[in-house]
Chain A
Amino acid sequence: MKKVINYVLLAASMTAGIAASANANDLNDLLKQVKADRLSEAKIDKKREAEFTSARADKQALLNKAKAQLKAEQERNKRLTKEYAQNEITLAQKEVELDNAKGTLGEMFGVSRAAAADAYGQIATSIVSAQYPGRGEALDAIANAKAIPELEQLEELWFALQTEMTQSGEISQFTAEVTNLDGTKSTESVTRIGTFNLVSENGYLNYNDEMGQIQPLAKQPAGYIAGTASDFFGETSGFAPVYLDPSRGAILTLETRKKTLMEFYHEGKEVGYGITILLVLGMLIALERIIVLGAVSAKMKAQEKNLSQPNENNPLGRLLKVYQDNKEADAETLELKLDEAILRETPTVDRGINLIKMFAAIAPLMGLLGTVIGMIMTFQTITLFGTGDPKIMAGNISLALVTTALGLIAALPLILVHSIVAGRSKSVLHKLDEQSAGLIAAIAEKESK
């Protein structure tokens, strides 16, 4: 801080010193200089005055010249105005003359213009333009021309219409640049079917008339439809079935907005996946049951043919073993022993069957759960956005419906499979429960004779 103050003081003293010395020396000099200046300025003034007076005469001459020019221009203006008025009259006369001379040709001009405008709308959007580009401009020129069309232009119109007509009845293959969905361009071979469809090996293509580009569809229609298209593309001779779009692309565009089955499935969200798990689990259990029960009943059939040698690998064999171990016991003891053995066998036979039944019952209930969740979300959407736009509501409604459908789709095969498995296990159990005792009784009778 002290340093700063010192600097400031030093600077102030220095400027004061300079000012004082100037005061002392220059005042006399300044006086002398002013005097000298006055003399020289008076000289310059005189010189300038003389210049001005000499230039004045010139300026007068210039003014006179400009005035004369103005007069001349005004006269020219008058003359030209007159001429213009006259030309106007002549023009009107000539136009009348032209109209007279044109006669019926004027009508033809109108017709050709209308025809060109009509044809432009049709031809510019037609897929034939993908094969023969540039037909639109010529037509556009005729349609928007102010003058009578030239003979060449009329021929152009004729050619355009004729080409469209001829090509609409033909199927032709050509090479064209295709702009892919990711923006890259590739040169591909394309088959054009009349004015209806463009087909490549990857399915249907679209002709974008604004950009003049051939593009693949944003999404190909269902596999069996797109498949016929690529099959048709690959066909070199003979006949091949193909799906045509008679609306020239409108139906295919609608088709791209349709959801696929997979997309529908994923709309079921978590509830839908839960139902799928139930279905898969139920089916696996059923499969295991069918295999096990099939093996058990096959072994029991084999055992039935060979009653004297009980095999321990099947329930019937184990029952026969019980009989052979208790041959000497009386009927009542034997019956008790058999009942006990049957009781032991039963759980292994009907294991899992009730689980399938339960899954079959739960699946539609889960579907119902999805329905309710979807409806709750729908009503929440209505609270937020009102009922104005059905498209907003439709999303949640589809959740509700898709889960219901999934629930039913899972329940139906589970019910069917349950009835099959239950039937099989019932027949095995009957054999054990009601028929094994009879078989043993028959053996016992035979042995007692």
Chain B
Amino acid sequence: MLFLIELIDSVRSFIATGGNVLYFVAFALLLMWIMMVERYWFLAATYPTIRDEIIAKWDARSDTTSWYAHRIRDTWISETTELLERNMITIKTLVAMCPLIGLLGTVTGMISVFETMAQQGTGNPRLMASGISMATIPTMAGMVAALSGVFFSTRLDAKVKLAKAKLVDSLPHH
């Protein structure tokens, strides 16, 4: 329990030094990971049953070669692909947005540095330091958030593509 309180406290002081932009980074990170976990869950648990159903349905068909059959097969593949690729665009967008949010933090931090300078002059570097930490910490946080997402989102993308290719291969037509 004490450990948790300490953890919350350290997070709070981190946000205090980094400024409010960190909330946006945290929000983007949270959204990104919720979506990615959901995708992993879908690929591991839900998708195999859907895939097996389609394969069974295809195998049960008597006609697999006519134009009609091809169109129906395309439709099934398209529907499944849509299920597979749901939210992938948003995940990728969020990954790309994280460094941008960090950059926003940099700019707002620099604004606060210059505001301090306009009020107090350059005499006291300590006063400016809070603005500088507000400029650098969100940048770092945005980078880390993006990096944490880049690897897994790329992996997810590859997995989705592989799953799609495998599905296409397991619906033979001639």
Contact = CB atoms under 8 A, between A and B. Distances in A.
Contacts of B97: 412, 415-416
Interface string A165-192: 0000000000000000000000000000
Interface in B77-127: 77-79, 81-82, 86-87, 89-90, 92-94, 96-97, 100-101, 103-104, 107-108, 110-111, 114-115, 117-119, 121-122
Contact of B114 (A394, A418, A445): A394
B68 interface: yes
A418 B122 CA distance: 43
A308 B93 CA distance: 40
B89 A423 contact: yes
Interface in A419-442: 419-420, 422-423, 426-427, 430, 433-435, 437-442
Contacts of A391: 117-118, 121
Contact of B74 (A405, A415, A437): A437
B100 A430 contact: no
Interface in A231-263: 254, 257-259
Main secondary structure of the interface of A (DSSP, over half): helix
B71 interface: yes
A445 B67 CA distance: 10
Given A398-B114, A415-B93, A415-B96, A254 B119 contact: yes
A429 B120 CA distance: 58
A444 interface: yes
A401 interface: yes
Interface residues of B, number: 40
Given A390-B118, A441-B68, A408 B107 contact: yes
A264 B111 contact: yes
B170 interface: no
B46 interface: no
Given A259-B115, A430-B82, A409 B104 contact: yes
A437 B115 contact: no
A405 B111 contact: yes
A331 B67 contact: yes
A395 interface: yes
B75 interface: yes
Nearest to B78: A434
Contacts of B71: 437-438, 440-441
B72 interface: yes
Contacts of A356: none
B40 interface: no
A335 interface: yes
A165 to B, nearest CB: 33
12 contacts: A264-B111, A331-B66, A390-B117, A390-B122, A394-B118, A398-B118, A401-B111, A405-B104, A408-B107, A412-B97, A434-B74, A438-B73
Interface of A: 254, 257-259, 264, 331-332, 335, 390-391, 394-395, 397-398, 401-402, 404-405, 408-409, 411-412, 415-416, 418-420, 422-423, 426-427, 430, 433-435, 437-442, 444-445
Given A258-B115, A331-B67, A391-B118, 11 more contacts: A254-B119, A332-B67, A398-B118, A408-B100, A415-B100, A416-B90, A416-B97, A427-B82, A438-B71, A441-B71, A444-B68
